[in-house]
Amino acid sequence: MTVLPQLDQLVAACHWIGAKGWAPATGGNMSVRQDDSYCLLSESGKDKGSLTRDDFIQVEIASNRAPSGRTPSAETGLHTLIYRLFPQAGAVLHTHTVNSTVLSRVEKGAALVLQGYEMQKTLAGQQSHLDSVSIALFDNDQDIDALSQRIAQFAQQTPLRYGFLLRGHGLTCWGKDVNEAKRHLEGLEFLFLCEMQRRLLEAK
Ligand SMILES: CSCCC(=O)C(=O)COP(=O)(O)O
Ligand SMILES: [Zn+2]
């Protein structure tokens, strides 16, 4: 495998995610783009908070195939879809947090709309709390090919930015590199926590 500084940053991001409790048990998966044709994806079933460089498997973006024969994430198809849809995407992070899991069930619509928060500006291109940020929300599915097709169809009609929520499952987000994907993850998780608290308090 070629030396890839982004992979070291991804390993560090995985440890940070683990320390935050955002990938409990074996939940979550992470990847980095290697080039136009390949990405490096976390091995399925591992504790993502204690991954090393050797736990990342090369996967062909077009076919989801791992030339090594090892088993990458069960959600490989979602990572490769993002790399196909967004040539600028350099890293993808998928986490299982309590807030994304619960909020994605409480919100019955096709998107979680965030508005009025200064922290929206952690998301690339956002400049004001007055704008609305729409995070697409898809029903979860054990059939990742079917889920990927549903997301791809949605993306043909509606711009997908930053990430999407899977109902009762978690958040998948991306960025131009590991640093930006990590900032989007941290920003979105902060916004989800605010939105949970707001909905709880305003319901009283
Ligand atoms: C116990 S977590 C269920 C699978 C999942 O949603 C996940 O994020 C981890 O799957 P992987 O194959 O990447 O370990
Ligand atoms: Zn998952």
Q: What is the pLDDT of residues 57-66, one digit of tens each?
A: 999 999 999 9
CA of 123 to the centre of ligand 2 (A): 22
Tokens encoding 73: 């994430």
Q: Is the CB of 44 under 6 A from ligand 1?
A: yes
pLDDT at position 1: 45
Q: Taking all residues of the chain, what is their mean pLDDT, rounded to a whole number?
A: 97
Strands 111-115 and 132-138, bridge-based pairing: antiparallel
Q: Is the CB of 168 under 6 A from ligand 1?
A: no
The b/e string for 36-67 (b: 16+ C-beta within 10 A; e otherwise) is eebbbbbbeebebbebeeebbbbbebeebebe
Q: Of 177, 173, 157, 156, whose CA–CA distance to 165 is shortest?
A: 173
pTM of the model: 0.98
Which atom of ligand 1 lies closest to the CA of 29? 13
CA of 161 to the centre of ligand 1 (A): 23
Q: Which residue carries 């683990």 as its tokens? A: 18
Average pLDDT for 36-40: 98
Q: Is the CB of 26 under 6 A from ligand 1?
A: yes
pLDDT at position 2: 52
Mutation choice for ligand 1 from 26, 164, 171, CB with most ligand atoms inside 8 A: 26
Q: Which residue carries 């978690």 as its tokens? A: 170
Q: Which helix (H) or strand (E) holds 128?
A: none
For the chain, count helices (H), then strands (E): 5, 8
Answer whether 164's CB lies under 8 Å from 135's CB: yes
Max CA separation in the chain (angstroms): 56
pLDDT at position 204: 77
Average pLDDT for 162-172: 99
Atom 13, ligand 1: residue with shortest CA distance: 73
